[in-house]
A = this chain, B = another copy of it.
């Protein structure tokens, strides 16, 4: 349940802009790094020196400040101070219960996204909040924990492949979002495989836990959709944002990642449809099997009950029962029983109950 609704640590009534970290308490160190780059050179600073570095901005360079870990509120506050970030923005950065969204603060765009990964231990998808602050000439990125999703972008920056070193902070923001959406595909691939094996299992040996698993996967789909769906609107809004924050040349790239997001959302919808179909199929298969069992069992009972009655009749102790004295009475009755049983079987057969 808690994945769908995040308790607010902040006490109701606190003034807006109060920063309260709402994630799980952790003692992990917070790592801050800053990469300055332009077409020709690139420089990386990390640790405490970062804030000093930001203070002396390089007007001809793009600055990417990445913060891994958001539980040390005072670090984020200092960065916000130096770069002139609105307190409401900082409040949302540390409050991990946000839905994905884009807010235009004129001086910068504030984007909240969800990084998804599969928690193998609990076998469910978990979401970590990634916040981006895209200003003129700088990009701030905040992650709850260090992940390797942005490593490929860092690598491209170092090598200078592609357009990344030649473009602005908006292209960098695009590159990060693209990396995250590519990551969504990995999650979907795992689900596609699971669904396929689940379907095989359903056809082979439908058990009661299969249904629980289908329900679980449907719930995962609700969760995934809720995390990814808003991204479409965010990208649409980004494209509408004019320069200087988002340049026209970046639009085609935003369209591209929007297109991929639409594919993901589409696939989730299809998965839900298929899971619903599987559930229906499972339920009617189970009920069919059950019905078959009951039918066969009831037929067996029905077959023997009249025969037992006949046996009961000739088990009676009346003094005058002429049949009992007949020489072939016993074998005759056995014959009658066989005939009755046969007739009933024929009747069932003709009615197609067997």
Contact = CB atoms under 8 A, between A and B. Distances in A.
A186 B152 contact: no
A234 interface: no
Interface residues of A, number: 113
A329 to B, nearest CB: 5
Interface of A: 1-2, 4-5, 7-8, 10, 12-17, 86, 88, 97-99, 101, 103, 105, 149, 151-153, 155-156, 161-164, 175, 178-179, 182-183, 185-186, 188-189, 192, 195-196, 199, 208, 211-212, 215, 218-219, 222, 226, 252-253, 255-256, 259, 262-263, 266-267, 270-271, 273-274, 277, 280-281, 283-286, 288, 290-291, 293-295, 297-302, 304-309, 311-321, 323-330, 333-334, 351, 353
Contacts of A302: 297, 300-301
A155 B329 CA distance: 90
Contacts of A219: 273-274, 277
Number of copies of this chain that the complex holds: 5
Contact of A324 (B103, B163, B313, B317): B317
Contacts of A97: 263
Contacts of A290: 291, 295
